[in-house]
A and B are shown apart, each in its own frame.
Chain A
């Protein structure tokens, strides 16, 4: 097959890897910002399909199909996201005579509709969240609540944003809560219609992986727990889901395969459920008719390659294993590494990957390599860190260790957030609900570890310098004078730290780590140093803190300035006649602002302020003759707040 991958980033690379292992050729389609991305160079062929705008690239069905035709591709793998669950695309691929590496388009369509999916699930005997929306009669609703069982949720049918929602714990509260919710919904949406639904106090997100073929065979590959979510985005996933009663686990798996089988599902897919951790009850949420981001945890515990199984199924091969052949071994967890700043409300971050150290004994699925740019156009997820261990406790520990070692520098990521996360008792115990992250107190960002970074820089420099004696670092001085050794490190905020290396512990360079002796104990710290670029990254509580080493020349030398002013005053550079004095005492000026205009030799000269200041005195008026070095205007020292050139009063 020649498989066109209608996707980008880590999943494109993931698919390419398996495709190539099976001897298939691959075609990458890419948008302009991705030209330097690894998936483009790793594919057998690559086609530029458009600009950053998604509608003109990764979502442009016609362009992707044109690329397929141009490259004589025989199959299309859609990855996840983008067009992976787009029925039109799936149909168009099939219509073009290409193999669609995914479930048949009809299934994609039916599962794509929430209502339809709920109906099918219900029909297949899969539990759905009990609810009541058939009547707006208060008595009917109260009866429904009794039937569903407390606690229940009354929520606005037109709702959203948490408005018009009440949790009702007892029947006696129902009437009052309903009144409140209706009134709030009317105020918010102008629509007081209500739905009554089972309220799940401790909801968990558990899903089941299924894989089917085109011959009617279908197996399920066990559960995954994805309850660690932030605003409905999964953060940390694991397989199998921990701490589930046997009955629940078995029920989930059976329901998932029954649902999939009932629709003739013929590829990799995931059935998502909400599990009530109190009761062990579970309810169907939706089915994702594609490969999931978190598929590697299932692969880790089953030893299967889901992309391979998808490709084989799409090629018409029967599944190579039966349900009874599926075995599970150990535990696996996946941390989604996003380019985002947890301390800034998880705002997406862009930048260039300047350091990359991947620890041993992990699976690392990444969209980027060293030197790649992270652009603002796509999803913030840039990598996945997957660890597997013999049991859950070991896996948790191994993830913590891996997070202490990994370095992805140059761009802010949630690595440190993950390191914090893996220490949380609920994570360690496997008892989180989907509300966990929304309710948790997020950790503070650690202070810049300048001493560690300085020690790393120095240790690497000492090790790497070779050649003649001058290239030898350090203390050759022939006299017992301890060389002042200061390194200047600029952190990501732009602050330059003076780091006194003589005050830092001596560190030994070990290539990927430095070793520091602390009262007899040799400790190792994961670091990365780029001597040529003058850049250091250190792992501090999981955070990849990156520092730029600043040359003293740049750090200390005064900036080049123009103008005749100095901090204190404007002086006449030569004898001239004043033509203009556009400032008054008390005026705020910024560097570059014209303060006096003089004329000499028939030329006008603007004398500008050297920096921000407040005009103290204007000593000349238009028409006055000036002498060389005569002070024309004086300034007061600016108040600290006025030194900010962005301060509104200075923005004229």
Chain B
């Protein structure tokens, strides 16, 4: 397999301009991630209080559990960003994947320094999404519980619906039934519904003095029964380990609990990350020939100027090697085979608008990968499928639909990265969130919406003007309508808006892309080969 010849000139003025602009994007990403870690109104004080009580900060807790010197993929760090008056950094919950004795586990850990670890709607979404990741990737779940329970002011957005709190227990019970260990360490409150997280776990450890489980806490007991009771007597580690049996082990300290947890993990019989199955082709990894940092200078500072997806691929894949499939046809989509951290993948990347030919080429390539059991990686950067008379007459709708059908029905693991625009049906055909990629990451320059803000401004203005029914619209009114539409699109297509709502599994710095994908692919490699689907019906 030949390496991609890069045509990027890192000495050019364009490169310098792009790079400077992207550095700003990355700086902003880091700042906002830092906010999620320890920022926000009054956070400093609550972190202090947490530490004063001898409790460990949530990310440090995870570090104490996972194997030394091993990675941790943290998901959706910026969930909740800009929502809830920007008072719930990270959504008050951390999810991710890390190794314990070489076995990957999903971690779901409450951050008690954010609203006492109480669960806002996006926290539930993140909790459920982590369980979904566990199911798809065949991973056990470790719950580090330290939560005040549902955030009651928003109870209607947390409690009743599918994939609300109830859905998380539904999933937990079923994950356990699939043989995926559900393990809890109780490091704080587990009140009301929260009590079911440990109660539904396969094994539970409670830490004395801080861990408490009760269906109704002391205030509810007082209100309901008039009893005044000490929280430890009501639901402390001793009660639950000695008397109720809700907990299986009692630990004097968090460290002891993590030691016990790791001991439990020695007995779960899960495949280790090194236990690669033969169906996913693997060879020793090779670093790309070109540094990932050059991506900063490749992505245009002006998002109307396109960049070549091959230049990005060259900075993500092993040895920058890429076997370009059908390179002379349907050129607005790049397809081909490569390896990431040793694992073979089929890559589908946009080089602009999707035409009928590009859609057919992508469909063909998806079918090849499905046939050969090669995971698919989608690199989205498209303004969508081509419109216009010729395109419609050429059957773009049915050709686009072939691509969408093929993506929807592909049974090999799929991964998506938003490296630029993700607009319209392009989002669907390129395996957007609705098409259940195993993981979906986005770059801070990405945009996601039904259409670009420029297009929306024109289209929606015309519609709104049309709706005003004959009344003359002044230039001023027109300008105001345009401005409103543009503002809405600008806001809603912003990647921070998207990641805050969990439309992705996290914004990542482009230089981390290869690592993130390598980590994710390795998870699939330890699973059995996914069962192939039946053939599809293609509208010809």
Residues of A with Cβ closer than 8 Å to B?
458, 461-462, 465-481, 483-487, 551-558, 629
B128 interface residue (CB < 8 Å to A): no
Chain A binder among B180-188, B217-225, B482-490, B513-521: B513-521
Other-chain residue from A467, A478, A483, A486 in contact with B73 (beta carbon distance below 8 A):
A478
Task: Tell me the bound Cα distance from A495 to B243 in angstroms.
Answer: 36
Chain A binder among B58-66, B166-174, B407-415, B529-537: B58-66
Other-chain residue from B70, B266, B342, B512 in contact with A478 (beta carbon distance below 8 A):
B512
CB of B458 to closest CB in A, whole Å = 37
B54 interface residue (CB < 8 Å to A): no
CB of A347 to closest CB in B, whole Å = 35
**Residues from chain B with Cβ under 8 Å of A483 in the complex:** 63, 72
B260 and A484 within 8 A (CB): no
A468 and B285 within 8 A (CB): yes
Can you identify 9 A-B contacts, CB atoms within 8 angstroms?
A468-B282, A468-B518, A469-B522, A472-B71, A478-B77, A479-B33, A480-B37, A483-B63, A555-B259
A477 and B68 within 8 A (CB): no
B334-378 to A contact mask, C-beta < 8 Å, 1/0? 000000011100000000000000000000000000000000000
| Residue in A485, A551, A558, A629 with the greatest tally of chain B CB atoms within 10 Å | A558
Task: Tell me the bound Cα distance from A486 to B64 in angstroms.
Answer: 8
A469 and B341 within 8 A (CB): yes
**Residues from chain B with Cβ under 8 Å of A478 in the complex:** 73-74, 77, 506, 508-509, 512, 516
Given contacts A468-B343, A556-B259, A557-B256, 10 further A-B contacts (CB under 8 A): A466-B284, A468-B521, A469-B521, A471-B274, A477-B73, A480-B30, A484-B64, A552-B255, A556-B256, A556-B260
A558 in contact with B77 given A467-B274, A469-B519 (CB within 8 Å)? no
Task: Tell me the bound Cα distance from A473 to B70 in angstroms.
Answer: 5
B284-299 to A contact mask, C-beta < 8 Å, 1/0? 1100000000000000
Other-chain residue from A458, A481, A557 in contact with B260 (beta carbon distance below 8 A):
A557
B30 nearest CB neighbor, chain A only: A480
Task: Tell me the bound Cα distance from A556 to B64 in angstroms.
Answer: 10
Closest 6 CB pairs of A and B: A556-B259, A469-B518, A557-B259, A476-B71, A553-B262, A473-B69
How many A-B pairs have beta carbons closer than 8 Å: the answer is 120
B69 and A553 within 8 A (CB): no
**Residues from chain B with Cβ under 8 Å of A484 in the complex:** 60, 63-64
B493-526 to A contact mask, C-beta < 8 Å, 1/0? 0000000000000101100100110110110010
B400 interface residue (CB < 8 Å to A): no
**Residues from chain A with Cβ under 8 Å of B263 in the complex:** 553, 557
CB of B486 to closest CB in A, whole Å = 32
**Residues from chain B with Cβ under 8 Å of A629 in the complex:** 242-243
**Residues from chain B with Cβ under 8 Å of A467 in the complex:** 274, 284-285, 342
B273 interface residue (CB < 8 Å to A): yes
B15 interface residue (CB < 8 Å to A): no
Task: Tell me the bound Cα distance from A372 to B256 in angstroms.
Answer: 36
**Residues from chain A with Cβ under 8 Å of B214 in the complex:** none
Task: Tell me the bound Cα distance from A470 to B104 in angstroms.
Answer: 9
B71 and A477 within 8 A (CB): yes
B25 interface residue (CB < 8 Å to A): no
Task: Tell me the bound Cα distance from A485 to B69 in angstroms.
Answer: 7
**Residues from chain B with Cβ under 8 Å of A553 in the complex:** 101, 259, 262-263, 266
**Residues from chain B with Cβ under 8 Å of A558 in the complex:** 251-252, 256, 259-260
B252-287 to A contact mask, C-beta < 8 Å, 1/0? 100110111011001000000110100000101100
Q: How many residues does chain B have at the interface if contact means C-beta atoms less than 8 Å apart? A: 52
B254 nearest CB neighbor, chain A only: A556
Other-chain residue from A474, A485, A487, A554 in contact with B71 (beta carbon distance below 8 A):
A474
CB of B367 to closest CB in A, whole Å = 27
Other-chain residue from A466, A472, A485 in contact with B515 (beta carbon distance below 8 A):
A472
A479 and B77 within 8 A (CB): yes
A480 and B515 within 8 A (CB): no
Task: Tell me the bound Cα distance from A481 to B94 in angstroms.
Answer: 12
Other-chain residue from B74, B252, B260, B341 in contact with A477 (beta carbon distance below 8 A):
B74
Task: Tell me the bound Cα distance from A472 to B340 in angstroms.
Answer: 14
A487 and B73 within 8 A (CB): no
B34 interface residue (CB < 8 Å to A): yes
CB of A551 to closest CB in B, whole Å = 8
B215 interface residue (CB < 8 Å to A): no
CB of B265 to closest CB in A, whole Å = 8
Task: Tell me the bound Cα distance from A465 to B341 in angstroms.
Answer: 13
B68-106 to A contact mask, C-beta < 8 Å, 1/0? 111111100100000000000000000000010100100
CB of B237 to closest CB in A, whole Å = 12
CB of B383 to closest CB in A, whole Å = 28
A479 and B519 within 8 A (CB): no
CB of B280 to closest CB in A, whole Å = 11
**Residues from chain B with Cβ under 8 Å of A466 in the complex:** 284
**Residues from chain B with Cβ under 8 Å of A476 in the complex:** 71-73, 512, 515-516, 519
Task: Tell me the bound Cα distance from A552 to B256 in angstroms.
Answer: 9
**Residues from chain B with Cβ under 8 Å of A479 in the complex:** 33, 36-37, 74, 77
**Residues from chain A with Cβ under 8 Å of B259 in the complex:** 552-558
CB of A561 to closest CB in B, whole Å = 12
Task: Tell me the bound Cα distance from A469 to B526 in angstroms.
Answer: 13
B69 and A470 within 8 A (CB): no
A468 nearest CB neighbor, chain B only: B522
Task: Tell me the bound Cα distance from A553 to B72 in angstroms.
Answer: 19
A481 and B59 within 8 A (CB): yes
**Residues from chain A with Cβ under 8 Å of B101 in the complex:** 553
**Residues from chain A with Cβ under 8 Å of B256 in the complex:** 556-558
| Residue in B34, B508, B515 with the greatest tally of chain A CB atoms within 10 Å | B515
A462 in contact with B37 given A470-B99, A478-B516 (CB within 8 Å)? no
A488 nearest CB neighbor, chain B only: B68
CB of B437 to closest CB in A, whole Å = 17
B522 nearest CB neighbor, chain A only: A468
Task: Tell me the bound Cα distance from A461 to B69 in angstroms.
Answer: 8
Q: Which of B99-120 contact A (CB under 8 A)?
A: 99, 101, 104
CB of A571 to closest CB in B, whole Å = 8
**Residues from chain B with Cβ under 8 Å of A462 in the complex:** 69
| Residue in A467, A478, A554, A558 with the greatest tally of chain B CB atoms within 10 Å | A478
